[in-house]
Every structure is written in structure tokens, then in C-alpha cells.
């Protein structure tokens, strides 16, 4: 049975814990929903089972809309983390319970019970009570009970969480064998990456209520599309690199205005050598071995890069003033070839890097003085984005001769519209204007002034929304029209926008078409939420209604505004 989710949203106290999730699970597929605690994965699973009502969207099983059906009507099996067995019932009675409720004849119940006990390797334990079984055995009973009424979908919510490592491994193998034998469509929720890699045909990674990426385990590991997935699925070093004619390099010297990119360097892809001349791969910089952990077949190192070196971004937890920390793992042959000790200076190379297709590389807070720039750095939205993206937030006093690399950030208020216009005319492809005291937005309004800027705008909006738990709406606004052909063209534009956002950038969002004046409709939508934010795309900054935008940037209430100026989405680079 296939499972289809279309913009499923669940809110608690007005805050989305599942945020516009769309997903298709193929018949017989084993999908693992992976994410940290609080990412919304268990809520989504319960919504599919019918145990939790949703606020928006649609859930379909094998093409049938079950959004408003009860859990029993959906015919799914559900396995809870803590077994949820009836303690006063025998194992046999627990397994038969769902069949008794459905008034299945006793002979059929007994036959099904025997079949399931053999399937989960618990033959002869019919008369035991749950308390007489180990944790792993109880979870096997829970699986058998979930399968008793022959569901076409099996849902499991962290079923191995309360078990020790050896039993978890055995039970994982058992469940995978059962799933393959029965060819039952299965979704398992976990926060354990090893578990996900061992079981999944595909992994869906959730964070802040959104489904960030969904794909094969090896694809997500080697070619992630987002910062979060790259660091959540195994260790990863996120570095700012520069795209050059010679490929991605980590030194911007010799380029007038380097194009920044975010590169993923896995610890196992790091090469260490005595000096730069001996590095056979892409040279990164020099560092000092600060920590070494013996792990048997694999040695794990942490190398402190020079503070003025060519690695300008430090992973989370590092002090940029001391230089970034680089995670390194080396096999025994590598250790024997080039042994290192604590405090040794080494040259660092990258055998293979993966460039994230993110349009946001870094931020630069631009202020009239250092105190103003510092206030922006400490603002709730910018500090949150910097921490969650694990990226650099630089400072700049005054405009300089052109816009800085990455995304310039300006404070809203008197005169901010003119400064924003200057930045866009002088090289800024993205510009964030923000009230320093503004809280994180709950509602993001996206609009493009022309079709040519839509792709880039949606890419930037997707990158932002991966790190902020806000609901988003994309507005297509047009003058009042009467011709059917014109209305159809606008509707196609709307559908294309949603399809592009979902397929290219992993962002599902509400879409809405409105007739009327652009500025009036945007103002109306922004006013629907106290904490709203505008993402505005254009391929020509002079086409912006600057008199109106000045009222947004300099008026009351002040709202964050992100302007995208014909930023081209670069294709990922392997090196």
C-alpha cells in the first residue's frame, strides 16, 4: 500500500510542530523518519495512524483519502516505543486482541497467533505474561500484535529505544526480515542514525517540523543538500570555500570578489601530511593536532586550524579567535604511513568535498559603527541563523566600495531603504534588513516581482525556512483580470512555483493567487501575523516600489525583509 502526504500540518498552541510536510511512500518500501527530539517525526507518524488530528493537509493510503477516518478504519499496525502490552493478558491474548475486537472466529485467531509467534521467533510462549519476557521479547510481541489484523501499513515509533545495543541489533534484523517477507509498507521513526542506515530503503530527515530531505542513505550521506542533514548524518566539517577556475579552493587571495560556497568535508576525506608540498589532494591549510582518540581500527583527531588560515568557518563549539576545529578520522594504514602526536603542526588536504547547493554562505552585519554592527550580530534572528547554519557572521562598518561577500545584513529604521538600495546596486544578491530586537518570525510571506527571479528566491527562502520554525505562503498577485486564459496562466504560475520549491529545494509551502494591487496585498498578508517576515524577489532592484518598501523598513511595526536580487543557483560541485 502506498502512503501520500500532502502539506500535512499540525500545530500546538499556534506553533507548527509538523510544517507543510509532503511525502510519497511506495508500496512495500521501508522508510525511516530520522531527526532529533522535537523535530515532529512522532507527531507525523501518529497523524498517519489516525491517533492525532491534523490542522491542514491530506493523508492518503493507496489513493484513498483517510484524513478524517479513525485509526481503526485506516487498517494500519502501530508499534509503540514502550510496548503498550496489556500486562494482565497472556502473550497469546495480546496478539489476538485486535482480532477479537474485529469478531474474528476463535479458530482463525489461534491459527494467526501461531503463525505470528513463529514469525517473531516466540513459539511456545503463548501463555506467558509480558512481565515474564525480556524487553526484546516484549517488543517482538508488540510487532506481532500490530501485524495480527494483516495491516497493509506498519508504523513504528522508536521501537528499539528502551533496549540495549545487542538486542537492538537482533531485533532490527528480525523486523527487516519480516518486512521483506510480508512486503508491507513500513515507516519507522528514530533518532538513531545507525538504525536508519541499517534498515531504510529511504531516509526522510526532519528538523523544526519540516521534512528537509528524503533519499537513499548513501545519497544523503555523500551528497546532502542541506547543512543540517550533512552534520546530522555522521560527522562533517562545514567550511567556507571559494569557487574558482581551478575548482573549489579555501584561500580567497588573488580574487577581486570571490564567490563563497559552503563545502562539506567528511572526517574520513581529510588528508594529513608533514607540509603543503606533500599534500596530494586539495590543500586546505595548516593546523596543530589538539586531540587524538584511539578507536581501534580508526583514529579520531581534532586539528586546530590557524586563526588567520584559509578555513574561515568554525564548526559549532569552536572559538573563531582560536581558529576552527577540524574533525579527522584515519585508518590504521594511514596512521602507520604518517604518525602524529599532540601538538604537531600538520598540513591539511581534502580528498573529496561536496558543495552544498545552498545560496546562503555567510552573513556580514553592516552598521554605521561597530556597536551597531554588534547589535545586529546579537539580534535574535541573525544569531539563531548563524548558530543553526554553523556559519560565519562578519562585521563591517560603513558600506565600503561594494557589497561584502555572502549576505549583507542591515538594521531597519530611518534611512535603511536607501542603504538597502545601494547594497543591491553594488553587488548584493541577497540582503537581509532586520529590526535588531525583532523575534523569530512565525509567518513568512514570499513574493517575486518577475518570473525570472522566482527560482533564486525560492532557493533562498527554503534555506531560511530550514532553520526557522515558521509557516510560509507564496503569493502570486495580479491585477484584476476577466479573461479565462489569463487566470489559467496565473494558476499555472502558482502550481509551477510550488512544484519548483518542493522538487528543487525540498520546501513545501502554501500557495495563493490573489487579484489586486501588489503592495496592498503584501501589506495585508504581513498584517495577519504579529511576527511576520517578507521575502521579496526581483531581477531588477529599480523595479521595486521603493516608496512602499521604505514604509515597511522604516515604519511601525518594523518587520524583517529579505530581498533576493537575481541570485543564480549554482550547481553542486564535487572535488
pLDDT at 254: 60
The strand pair at 3-12 and 76-79 is best described as unpaired
Burial readout 393-423 (b: 16 or more C-beta within 10 A, e: otherwise) = bbbbeebeeebbbbbbbbbbeeebbebbbeb
| Total number of domains in the chain | 3
438: in domain: yes
- 501 Rama sector, left if φ>0, alpha if ψ -120 to 50, beta otherwise: alpha
Give the model's confidence band at 247: pLDDT under 50 very low, under 70 low, under 90 confident, else very high. confident
Q: What does pTM read for this prediction?
A: 0.86
Domain of 92, CATH number, reads: 3.40.50.300
Residue 315's domain spans which residues?
A: 235-355
Please check whether residue 570 lies inside any domain of the structure.
no
Tens-place pLDDT, residues 473-497: 999 888 765 566 666 777 777 788 7
H-type helices in 340-477, by residue range? 370-377, 380-389, 416-425, 454-465
538 lies in the same domain as 475? yes
pLDDT tens per residue, range 136-161:
888 888 888 888 888 889 999 988 87
Residues 222 and 290 in one domain: no
Mean pLDDT of 425-436: 93
Contact predicate 545/408, CB 8 Å:
no
| Distances, alpha carbon 244 to alpha carbons 133, 137, 250, 312, 354, in Å | 62, 58, 10, 17, 15
Mean pLDDT over each residue of the chain, to the nearest integer: 87
pLDDT of res. 475: 92
| Residues 405 and 318 occupy one common structural domain | no
Domain end, chosen from 355, 385, 420, is at 355
Query: Count of H helices and E strands in the chain?
Result: 17, 28
Q: How far apart are CA 94 and CA 91, in angstroms?
A: 5
pLDDT band at 370 (very low <50, low <70, confident <90, very high): very high
Q: Report the pLDDT value the prediction gives residue 154, as an integer from 0 to 100.
A: 92
Q: Are 386 and 451 members of one domain?
A: yes
CATH number for 537: 3.40.50.12370
Amino acid at each position: 500500500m502506498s502512503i501520500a502526504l500532502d502539506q500535512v500540518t499540525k500545530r500546538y498552541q499556534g506553533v507548527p510542530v509538523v510544517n507543510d510536510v509532503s511525502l510519497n511512500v511506495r508500496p512495500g518500501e521501508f522508510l525511516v523518519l530520522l531527526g532529533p527530539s522535537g523535530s515532529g517525526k512522532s507527531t507525523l507518524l501518529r497523524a498517519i495512524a489516525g491517533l492525532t488530528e491534523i490542522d491542514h493537509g491530506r493523508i492518503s493510503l493507496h489513493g484513498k483519502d483517510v484524513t478524517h477516518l479513525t485509526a481503526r478504519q485506516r487498517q494500519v499496525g502501530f508499534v509503540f516505543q514502550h510496548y503498550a502490552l496489556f500486562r494482565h493478558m497472556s502473550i497469546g491474548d495480546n496478539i489476538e486482541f485486535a482480532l477479537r475486537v474485529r469478531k474474528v472466529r476463535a479458530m482463525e485467531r489461534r491459527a494467526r497467533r501461531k503463525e505470528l509467534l513463529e514469525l517473531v521467533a516466540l513459539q511456545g510462549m503463548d501463555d506467558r505474561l509480558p512481565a515474564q519476557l525480556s524487553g526484546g521479547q516484549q517488543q517482538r510481541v508488540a510487532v506481532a500484535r500490530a501485524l495480527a489484523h494483516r495491516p497493509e501499513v506498519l508504523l513504528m515509533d522508536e521501537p528499539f529505544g528502551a533496549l540495549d545495543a545487542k538486542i537492538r541489533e537482533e531485533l532490527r534484523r528480525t523486523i527487516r526480515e519480516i518486512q521483506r517477507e510480508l512486503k508491507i509498507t513500513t515507516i519507522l521513526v528514530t533518532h538513531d542514525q545507525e538504525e536508519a542506515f541499517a534498515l531504510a530503503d529511504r531516509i526522510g530527515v526532519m528538523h523544526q517540523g519540516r521534512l528537509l530531505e528524503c533519499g537513499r542513505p548513501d545519497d544523503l550521506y555523500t551528497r546532502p543538500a542541506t547543512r543540517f542533514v550533512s552534520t546530522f548524518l555522521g560527522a562533517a566539517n562545514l567550511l567556507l570555500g571559494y569557487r574558482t577556475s581551478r575548482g573549489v579552493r579555501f584561500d580567497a587571495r588573488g580574487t577581486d570578489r570571490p564567490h563563497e560556497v559552503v563545502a562539506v568535508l567528511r572526517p574520513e576525506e581529510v588528508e594529513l601530511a608533514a607540509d603543503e608540498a606533500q599534500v596530494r589532494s586539495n590543500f586546505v591549510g595548516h593546523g596543530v593536532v589538539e586531540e587524538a582518540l584511539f578507536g581501534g581500527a580508526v583514529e579520531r583527531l581534532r586539528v586546530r586550524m590557524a586563526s588567520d588560515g584559509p578555513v574561515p568557518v568554525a564548526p559549532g563549539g569552536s572559538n573563531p579567535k582560536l581558529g576552527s576545529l577540524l574533525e579527522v578520522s584515519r585508518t590504521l594504514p594511514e596512521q602507520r604511513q604518517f604518525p602524529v602526536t599532540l601538538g604537531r603542526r600538520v598540513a591539511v588536504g581534502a580528498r573529496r568535498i561536496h558543495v552544498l547547493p545552498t545560496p546562503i554562505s555567510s552573513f556580514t552585519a553592516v552598521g554605521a559603527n561597530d556597536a551597531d554592527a554588534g547589535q545586529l550580530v546579537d539580534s535574535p534572528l541573525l544569531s539563531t541563523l548563524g548558530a543553526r547554519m554553523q556559519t560565519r557572521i562578519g562585521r563591517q562598518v560603513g558600506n565600503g566600495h561594494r557589497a561584502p561577500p555572502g549576505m549583507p545584513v542591515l538594521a531597519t529604521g530611518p534611512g535603511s531603504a536607501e542603504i538597502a538600495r545601494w547594497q543591491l546596486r553594488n553587488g548584493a544578491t541577497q540582503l537581509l534588513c532586520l529590526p535588531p530586537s525583532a523575534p523569530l518570525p512565525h509567518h513568512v510571506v514570499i513574493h517575486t516581482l518577475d518570473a525570472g527571479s522566482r527560482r533564486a528566491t525560492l532557493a533562498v527562502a527554503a534555506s531560511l525556512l530550514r532553520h526557522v520554525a515558521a509557516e510560509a505562503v507564496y503569493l502570486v498577485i495580479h491585477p484584476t483580470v476577466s479573461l479565462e486564459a489569463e487566470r489559467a496562466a496565473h494558476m499555472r504560475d502558482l502550481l509551477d512555483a510550488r512544484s519548483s520549491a518542493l522538487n528543487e529545494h525540498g520546501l513545501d509551502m502554501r500557495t495563493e493567487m490573489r487579484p489586486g494591487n501588489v503592495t496592498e496585498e503584501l501589506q495585508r498578508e504581513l498584517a495577519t501575523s504579529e511576527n511576520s517576515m517578507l521575502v521579496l524577489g526581483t531581477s531588477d532592484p529599480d523595479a521595486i516600489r521603493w516608496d512602499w518598501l521604505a514604509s515597511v523598513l522604516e515604519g511601525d511595526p518594523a518587520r524583517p525583509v529579505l530581498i533576493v536580487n537575481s541570485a543564480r543557483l549554482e550547481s553542486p560541485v564535487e572535488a
